[in-house]
A and B are shown apart, each in its own frame.
Chain A
């Protein structure tokens, strides 16, 4: 689906944000992209969407080079940025002007999603609140039925019922023909939704693994439940210590993505070695 080969990118030649980055993504998965502020998550997503051009290497989507921005490439993907800017149009005229760029656009599904998300379809788009605008774009993006759907911080600005609705909608939107990439800081909003974790750190992808595999190799638990000899990373909280240890006796726990992320960005190479 997506193949990124030795991609380097920076907004100026002096500062590279992504360096010799390699990444392969397949259809049928929901990828969660994590990275610190300024690590280059949005920039990576823009390179995939053909909105930013690498100065070295390339990004291929469905066999086409993203930076060439061919119509056949563009109609196969939808990108929802973190900040959406809505034109002063009604929903109806937005659909009339935009939907025909996406051959598989499903109008009925779009209006169904809007009502599930409780978005007023009669209101002018520029007059909607930030959260409502975002939900409108998520609905539109899903309804395009593109094989690639990229969402940058989709749950930002969503209220609590909308987050629940978002998870329901995304889990039923995944199919074998679709690849969904979500970048997020709100790990807890999405941790049951993501099946494969991507971590962008130090200009490259350092983790690209299914959560199942991570859970088989590492055990996330309180210090009491972990084998003290096998602890790779520990973090104190108010009521005790959370640990990551080597999983030896097949006790599959839930992967604590927040803890794993902290361990990785704090330079815990032991963890990365163990995941390889």
Chain B
């Protein structure tokens, strides 16, 4: 059953239509990630949910009750800010205790709840320090603790791992889902790192120019994006794409691009004609051996990336392709000799040349 429901929410600032008619249903206990490039309206959307901003039109429902006009303090949501937004004149302990104090809870109970969450997030040793005395990682944990201490039914996290270094980010990627599961909280999480989104999310909503492009499981979004825009947002290096004319014979799909015939795969459901072909760098085979389906390429450079090796190669028609592979696989490639590429079976994506929608 859907727990939070967005019904054609819109928000503009002057002439700038930041959010344009969003619809979504979020389930109870779900880890829902809103992913989008900077400027896509993520933060504004989160502020609409928290009540800091009010939508121009549309309805936000929680458990079927419209909460559009409720003030932030009247909504059963909590939030962790990207810039932490800790109270500089209060110690970590008081920062965390703040949501409890708003609810007239006894001092003993406050104390035990603060200590419990601090223990869980491993900040029990810094409770007596002021925010400026905390490291970035500790600030981030304090801000998370504050948003979770009252066990809210919904917690909004605004890119909380953005401002911490890689080490803490990965620690938190492992720890955060565990902590949140324990609290059985519905999480709406903002990220502009697609890996973080895929790692954490039950479902991802891809926000682009104020609209949801896709709302789906991480794996589906990666493998079957609804449009080229989404496909480009997921994957590093970005998906290779080129305009081509597709033709099919009995057991081959052939793309003609700048006078070169490229054999893509064996079958596809799309019609013959012009389209954009997308192929992920890890779905291209690069080797020194020529096969029936492979094409000659010229080697340009290779660069290491995210524990993998990325090759930039150029087809004779001028088309550049990025191919990525593991370090072990890369050891077998002799870049001084002739190289050939072929496409892995059934991995090509086909997009409409004009609308950029996925054709399959």
User: Are A and B a genuine interacting pair, yes or no?
Assistant: no
Chain B residues proximal to chain A, CB less than 8 Å: none
Chain A residues proximal to chain B, CB less than 8 Å: none
